[in-house]
Structure formats: C-alpha cells, structure tokens
C-alpha cells in the first residue's frame, strides 16, 4: 500500500483506491486499527468468477472443479452460528442447499452437485477481518487443505467448513443417504514466512488457488515476484472485461428469482 502523508497509515491501495479504516472488536486484538481496500472483496470474487469461466470454457483443462465466492464464506460463517445453537435440529436448506447443487454462486452457475459432479472446490476466506487465505475442499479424501502466506493456523475459522460441508453433501445427494456426517480433516500447506509487506495476502490467496489448480509448486509464489503477480491479476481482469465470449455469457445472466434465507450479516 502507498503511504501518502497520513501519519504512516496507508491512504491508497496499489490500484489507487481509497482505504477504509476498521477497528477490531475481537478479544485477542481489541480496538486495533486495520485497513482494507475498497475493492478487495470485488477483486477476490472477480478472480473466482474468472477461474470458473476459464474452466467452463475449456481454456483450462480442469474438470470436476468448483469455485466459491466471498459471499459463500460469509454464509457458512453465519450458518455455523445457527448450527452450534441446535446441532440435531439444524437443516441444510435455502442458500446452502443451492450452493451444494451448483445453483450458486449465481455468476458462473454450474449445476454441478458437490461430491458427485465435483471432486474439489476452491474457496477464498477473509479471517480476522484483515487477512486473506484460501483453501481446497477435496470431496474424495474428505479433507480441506489451507493456503496461508503467513503460515498461521486458523482452526476456529475453518470449523464452519469442516462441519457444514459434509452435511451439505449428504443433504443434496439424497434425503435418506447413508453417508457418514463426519467433519472433514483440515491440513495446512507447508509455507515459509511470506507477505513481508503485509499487503499482498489477497494476491497470495488467489495465486495459491491457481497454482494448486494447475498442479504447480506453491513455492513459485514468493515476495520477489508477488508485485508482478498482482499486476498480472489486474491484467487478467482487464482482459476478461474485454473478452467477447465472457461478455456474451454475462449478458445472458439471469439472477435467482428468490432466496429463502434470512438477511446475512457480514462478519
């Protein structure tokens, strides 16, 4: 981030957009100030959409792969709160069910059912309100592999995914399915200390998805080339915005008629 005569605090992100200031309300870091780019969430979701489009258009030779959005991660966090209140009475319905059958995310809708049509799924996740990580959900091995450029553990943040994903899989496959509902195993990809600038975690999260998707070594991403990777993401988004095939597909987008869940509070 650029420091522009603001008492040492960032005023603009790499793209020249404004920085929004937040105050932490967590017990671990009460009243700690942190910052987020105005377009951070849009950038992550735009790239997730681009991953889906490239795969569905055959530009990447990847089948049985799904990509989730930031909204999905927030939905899982909020649904997990309800789940913990009543584990036995919790039912997979509404938005969670629509994700499981490929009706969501709405942009790039696949219609592919988790576990049956999809073997693995990539998910971006914002933790602590200021740090991006990503993960690969493997339906075959019933596991979640986490990619964090900071090399930290986020077990509490991963609980919603480990507990709810197997329940969604069972719910969307068959109401009387004998699938065992057991939390998915969570592992962390070995990672050296990266992101020394403390401003490139979003880029790392996206590029780790891309590397894992293409079977490339995660070590290819490091602080020496992360700035170039950020510029490459910007170029990819610009290129997609001028792609006639993607423009045509977006023009035919039809949003879902209804949603059945309550209003979601973004944490």
What is the secondary structure of 152-177 as a DSSP string?
---HHHHHHHHHHHHHHHHHHH-TT-
Cα–Cα–Cα angle for 105, 108, 111, rounded to 5 degrees:
75
Helical H segments across the chain, by residue range: 40-56, 70-85, 95-100, 155-173, 201-213, 226-241, 244-251
Q: Are 243 and 57 in contact (CB under 8 A)?
A: no
Tokens 């990672």 label which residue? 191
Sequence-ordered list of residues with C-beta below 8 angstroms from that of 139, at least 6 positions apart, any chain: 114, 115, 118, 119, 120, 121, 169
| Residue pLDDT tens, the chain, 267 long | 333 444 555 555 444 445 555 555 555 556 555 555 544 556 677 777 677 667 655 666 677 899 998 889 999 999 999 999 999 899 999 999 999 999 988 776 788 899 999 999 999 999 988 899 999 999 999 999 999 999 999 999 999 999 999 999 999 987 555 666 899 999 999 998 898 888 899 999 999 999 999 899 999 999 999 999 999 888 888 888 888 887 787 777 666 665 545 555 555
Q: Are 211 and 189 in contact (CB under 8 A)?
A: no
pLDDT score for 27 = 58
> Which tokens in the block code for residue 107?
């942009």
pTM of the model as a whole: 0.76
Q: CA–CA distance from 200 to each of 120, 227, 229 (Å)?
A: 25, 8, 10
Q: What is the distance, to the nearest Å, from the Cα of residue 10 to the centroid of all Cα atoms in its chain?
A: 25
Where is 132: in which H helix or E strand? Answer: strand 131-138
CA nearest to 144, candidates 104, 179, 188: 188
pLDDT score for 15 = 41
pLDDT score for 233 = 85
pLDDT score for 92 = 94
pLDDT score for 166 = 95
CA nearest to 191, candidates 134, 125, 122: 134
> Which tokens in the block code for residue 254?
């039809």
CA nearest to 96, candidates 119, 115, 110, 77: 77
């Amino acid at each position: 981030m650029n420091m522009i005569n603001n008492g040492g605090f960032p005023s603009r992100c790499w793209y020249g957009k404004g920085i929004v200031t937040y105050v932490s309300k967590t017990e671990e870091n009460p009243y700690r100030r942190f910052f987020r780019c105005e377009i951070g969430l849009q950038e992550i979701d735009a790239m997730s959409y681009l991953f889906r489009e490239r795969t569905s258009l055959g530009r990447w030779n990847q089948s049985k792969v799904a990509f989730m959005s930031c909204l999905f991660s927030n939905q899982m966090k909020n649904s997990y709160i309800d789940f913990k209140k009543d584990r036995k009475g919790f039912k997979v319905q509404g938005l969670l069910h629509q994700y499981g059958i490929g009706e969501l995310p709405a942009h790039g809708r696949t219609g592919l059912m988790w576990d049956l049509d999809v073997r693995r799924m990539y998910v971006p996740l914002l933790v602590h309100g200021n740090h991006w990580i990503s993960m690969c959900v493997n339906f075959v091995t019933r596991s979640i592999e986490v990619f964090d450029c900071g090399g930290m553990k986020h077990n509490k943040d991963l609980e919603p995914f480990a507990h709810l994903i197997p329940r969604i899989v069972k719910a969307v496959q068959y109401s009387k399915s004998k699938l065992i509902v057991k939390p998915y195993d969570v592992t962390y990809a070995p990672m050296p200390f990266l992101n020394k600038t403390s401003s490139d975690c979003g880029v790392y999260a996206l590029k780790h998805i891309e590397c894992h998707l293409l079977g490339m070594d995660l070590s290819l991403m490091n602080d020496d080339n992360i700035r170039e990777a950020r510029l490459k993401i910007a170029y990819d988004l610009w290129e997609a915005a001028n792609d006639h095939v993607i423009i045509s597909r977006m023009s035919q987008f039809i949003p879902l008629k209804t949603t059945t869940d309550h209003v979601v509070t973004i944490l």
